[in-house]
Structure 1
Amino acid sequence: MNTRHAFAAATAVALGLTLAACAGSDDDTASSASDVSVSHIHGLGLDPSDQRLYIATHEGIYTPDSQGKPKLVGDRNDDFMGFRVAGDKTFYASGHPTSREDGPGNKGLIRSTDAGQTWKSLSLSGKSDFHALDYVHRTVYGYDATNGLLRTSKDGATWKNGAELQALDIAVSPQDPDLVLATTAEGVARSTDGGKTFTEGKRPVLAYLSWQAKGALYGIDPSGGLYRSTDGGTTWKKLATAPGGKPQALTAVGAEHILAATQTGVYESKDGGKTFDERLSVESSGGH
């Protein structure tokens, strides 16, 4: 783990979370749902084409089977770190290969156009590990934990470097491509120039952010407290506490539709956090 990656790990620790492995997974084991348990969740999303839930983990991408148990998607048990559903069957991700795979330890940016069955390397293989990804305004925004940078790319191949910072997660305004927020150990940092510069973090201290609809910016704190901002992160209101303790991931699907992964499960709310239903149980573990 290099210095910049260590900074990201330190940020996670400061937020009371665990940064999951920085190298490839040693577990290339079973893909059958009957004997699989999921832990170390790094990302969540619903495929718009069929509303199927996808869960990016330390041991591959999973989706619930007909009994609601985790089923491996494709045949890869790679450590998927940053993860974003960008459109119908189209996912962006980053992370590390399993220990049995030849090649660099960081995957850079990869993309799937068949709902996670297969993946193609787009750029920065061996150079970058994106711990947070967003895709909005036809642009990939990524927090490169290896180099401690906010990066942006229109095509997923060529990148513009933004600010250096120690962050855990990012979110981009669905209305304004220049408004980027990042979670830091001090609080939520703000950029109004597309990630070139950020303010110092301001409270509340949040672990993960997600911003899918106007007036519906969501955040979750290190103890699972769910917050919402209707003014782009200037002010926040605590709504509830998500079930299951420390968070591992947060995704807003719509203005009132939220997915949250915590130590005990993946939970879904369709009423803005008033109530949650369990979508998948998980083994107790840390977050990013």
Structure 2
Amino acid sequence: MRSRLYQKLLLAVAVLATAACGAPPTAVGGGTSPSEATLAHVHGLGVDPADGMLYAASHYGLFKLPPGGAPERVGPVQDVMGFTVVGPGHFLASGHPGTPTNAAPHLGLIETTDAGQTWRNLSLGGAADFHALEAKHDVVFGYDSQSRQILTSADKRSWEPRARLALRDFAVDPARPEVLIANTADGLARSTDGGATFTPLPDAPDLVFVEWPAAGTLLGSDPNNTIYLSTDGGDTWTRQGQAPGPPGAFTAVNPSELYIATESAIHYSPDGGRSFTVRQPLS
């Protein structure tokens, strides 16, 4: 298990890398240059419950990934971050515009209800850059990289500030809206007050990504690309398997089905991270 110092260095590198990937300012809608429509630098993954389609949120827009087919960009060229699936055809995201205008460089919270074809800004345009978003229990939880703060909203427009801390990812308990798990500069930590405060979990692995696909069951990956499973809400963890490379995005559709994106491909696991196959090569 890596040291807490390593975890702090990892978080610092993540902050610098994210700042470097910001795109020039524009309005929501961005550019549509075919030369920019390349699936690379994947920041998020999600499955649309409407049809089971896998989507990849990237530096060059949102792509749908038909099984056995080529990636298809949907909607504008923009840097899509903090991507999360709310419901059928309904996604939330954040990020940066895709072409230069006089608009602000941060998209705030944006929403699509047509599976990425069109987006609209809901709030915090020009101010917030959410690197992690979750929509559960009719509440949106977001981590804003600009203020380094967890924010929550019941209407997607007005926001309540919670803890201010450095973190890479977080997950919300599907059964209890007040319980969150986050990987902080001090390692994995739990909140029991909706993200206002966190208590370290000293015996937990230092995870880079964490997912909470079912009540009591969490999955995550560490800096060594090891996949971990917890079946008791994060108290204890067991090693599952080894990811094919450092994940840039990680999602758990359920406790068994995982997708991770590395630099070379998007990979699929049908067995909770014990084994992986290539789902989509990346250019």
What is the TM-score when the length of structure 2 is the normalising length? Answer: 0.88
Q: 1:164 deviation in Å?
A: 0.4
- The reply on whether 1:24 has 2:23 as its aligned counterpart is yes
Q: 1:255 deviation in Å?
A: 2.0
The answer as to whether partners of 1:14 and 1:185 remain within 8 angstroms in 2 is no
Partner of 1:3: none
Q: 1:23 deviation in Å?
A: 2.4
> How has the CA–CA distance of structure 1 residues 182 and 60 changed in structure 2, closer, same or farther, with 3 Å as cutoff?
same
- How many residues align? The count is 270
> How has the CA–CA distance of structure 1 residues 176 and 23 changed in structure 2, closer, same or farther, with 3 Å as cutoff?
same
Q: 1:149 deviation in Å?
A: 0.5
Q: How far does the alpha carbon of each residue in 1:149-202 deviate from its partner, in whole angstroms, 9 at most, with x for none?
A: 011111101111000000111100001111111112331121110001112464
The answer as to whether partners of 1:224 and 1:242 remain within 8 angstroms in 2 is yes
Aligned residues with identical type, % of pairs: 43
Structure 1 counterpart of 2:20, one-letter code: A
> For the residues of structure 2 that align with 1:123 and 1:72, how far apart are their CA atoms?
25
**Structure 1: segments with no counterpart, 5+ residues:** 1-8, 284-288
The answer as to whether partners of 2:85 and 2:92 remain within 8 angstroms in 1 is yes
Q: 1:118 deviation in Å?
A: 0.5
Aligned alpha-carbon RMSD (Å): 2.3
Structure 1 counterpart of 2:175, one-letter code: Q
Higher relative contact order (CA 8 A, sep 6+): 1
> How has the CA–CA distance of structure 1 residues 102 and 68 changed in structure 2, closer, same or farther, with 3 Å as cutoff?
farther
- The reply on whether 1:91 has 2:98 as its aligned counterpart is no
Within a 5 Å distance, the mapping from 1:1-288 to structure 2 comes to: 11-13=10-12, 18-19=17-18, 21-24=20-23, 29-30=33-34, 37-65=38-66, 67-74=68-75, 76-200=76-200, 202=202, 203-243=204-244, 245-283=245-283
The answer as to whether partners of 1:55 and 1:63 remain within 8 angstroms in 2 is yes
Structure 2 counterpart of 1:90, one-letter code: H
Partner of 2:28: none
> For the residues of structure 2 that align with 1:15 and 1:99, how far apart are their CA atoms?
24
**Structure 2: segments with no counterpart, 5+ residues:** 1-7, 26-30
What is the TM-score when the length of structure 1 is the normalising length? Answer: 0.86
Partner of 2:4: none
Structure 1 counterpart of 2:188, one-letter code: V
> For the residues of structure 2 that align with 1:182 and 1:125, how far apart are their CA atoms?
25
The answer as to whether partners of 1:11 and 1:167 remain within 8 angstroms in 2 is no
